[in-house]
Structure 1
Amino acid sequence: MTRPLILAVAIAAIAIPFMPSKSDAGILSRACMRSDRKAATRPMCNCIQQVANQNLSRADQRLAASFFSDPHKAQEIRQSDTRGHEQFWSRYKEFGTVVAASCGHLR
């Protein structure tokens, strides 16, 4: 193998496990677009997804996406005393702050 090919294979071997699967790719964007919210435009939903990809794990993204169809679930998670829910909510609040700063211009 040539050196560039070896490098490309090595990079792919490292990167592929961290790439979202088709079932996870764009989960927040899809949930956003399916919602009945007036602000749910393609640019806004795509921006939200980009921020999510940088700030939330896939599991966090799946949980956050569920809030679009069940807003009360967000309230339950926020008020939960479960350590995992508290940790998620902390990450989710930070995510919301970044979304507001990064995507607010798309409203």
Structure 2
Amino acid sequence: MKKLVCATVVTLASAPALHAGPIEAACKNSDRPATAALCGCIQQAADITLRHSDQRRAARFFSDPHKAQEVRQSSSDRDNAFWDRYQNFGETAVAMCGD
């Protein structure tokens, strides 16, 4: 039984993700050059630091960077809280995925 459980865990851990997260998908669809590995790493940083709703919101920045500027300059408490989480995500992504 232990062998079966271990084999299942190894198989699941090494299986490729069936669906990219919102950040990874936006990264791959971006006009900026990025490898699949880099986009996957950035998604991992997002999974650690952002809620799924934050990820969907941040993914829009890839296609419309001006949206990020609008959020950054907003005086809304909601936007400010999101921006703090987004900055943490960016710092985490650089630490995890940067050269």
Aligned equivalent of 1:55: 49
CA RMSD of aligned residues (A): 1.0
Structure-1 separation of matches of 2:76 and 2:50:
19
For 2:68, the equivalent position in structure 1 comes to: 74
Q: CA deviation at 1:54?
A: 1.0
Query: Which amino acid counterpart does residue 47 of structure 1 have in structure 2?
Result: C
**Structure 2 stretches lacking a partner, 5+ long:** 1-18
Q: Deviations over 1:74-95 (max 9, x none)?
A: 0000000000000000010011
Residue 43 of structure 1: how far off its partner (Å): 0.7
Structure 1 distance, partners of 2:90, 2:63, is 18
Identify unmatched segments of 5+ residues in structure 1. Answer: 1-21
- Structure 2 CA distance for aligned equivalents of residues 102 and 37 of structure 1: 19
Q: Give the % identical residues.
A: 53
The question of 1:33 aligning with 2:28 is answered yes
The one-letter amino acid paired with 2:28 is M
Matched positions, count: 81
Q: CA deviation at 1:41?
A: 1.1
What per-residue deviation string (whole Å, max 9, x for no partner) do you get for residues 9-47 of structure 1? xxxxxxxxxxxxx6xx51110000000102x21011000
Matched, 1:90 2:72: no
Structure 1 residue runs of 4+, over 4 Å off?
none
Cα displacement (A) at 1:64: 0.5
- Secondary structure of the equivalent of 1:37? coil
Residue in 1 aligned with 2:4? none
Q: Aligned partners of 2:50, 2:41: CA distance in 1, in Å? A: 14
